[in-house]
Amino acid sequence: MNTAPLQGIKIVDFTEVQSGPSCTQLLAWLGAEVIKIERPGVGDATRKELQFDPNEPSYYFLQLNSDKKSLALDAKTPDGKEILTKLIKEADIFIENLHPGAMDKLGFSWEVVHKLNPKCIYGTIKGFPESSKYKDLKAYEPIAQVTAAAASTTGWYEGEYNVPTQSGAALGDSNTGMHLAIGILAALVQRNITGEGSFVYQSMHNACLNLCRIKTRDQLTLDKIGYLTQFPQYPNGKFGDCVPRSGNIEGGGVLGWTYKCKPAGANDSALDANNYVYVILQRGAKDFELFCNAVGFQDWLTNPDFNTADARDRHKDEIYKRIGAWTADKTKFEVTEILGKAGVPVGPVLSTKEMMSDESLYDGNTLVKINQGGNIGEFVTVGVPFTISNYQPTYGPCPALGGNTEEILTSLGYTAEQQAQFKANGTTAPMPKAAPSK
Q: How far from 191 is each of 9, 14, 183, CA to CA, in Å?
A: 13, 21, 12
Q: CA triplet 22, 114, 210: central angle to 5 degrees?
A: 40
Strands 121-126 and 33-38: unpaired
Q: Are 384 and 29 in contact (CB under 8 A)?
A: yes
Strand segments, DSSP code E, in 326-366 are 346-348
Cβ(157)–Cβ(246) below 8 Å: yes
Q: Which of 44, 74, 92, 173 is catalytic?
A: 173
276 forms bridges with which residues in the sheet?
Answer: 260
- Calpha distance 247→233 (Å, rounded): 10
Q: Do the Cβ atoms of 247 and 316 come closer than 8 Å? A: no
Q: Which of 272, 280, 262, 281 is nearest to 355 (CA)?
A: 272
Does residue 173 carry a catalytic annotation? yes
SS (H, E, C) 150-209: CHHHCCCCCCCCCCCCCCCCCCCCHHHHHHHHHHHHHHHHHHHHHCCCCEEEEEHHHHHH
Query: Which 3 state secondary structure label does DSSP give 95?
Result: strand
Strand-pairing partners, residue 10, are: 33
Sheet containing strand 69-72, strands side by side = 69-72, 33-38, 10-14, 93-96, 121-126, 199-203
Residue among 420, 423, 367 at smallest CA distance from 395: 367
User: Strand pairing partners for 71?
Assistant: 37
The answer to whether the CB of 328 falls within 8 A of the CB of 261 is yes
- Residue 161 CB partners (closer than 8 Å, separation 6+): 155
Active site members: 173
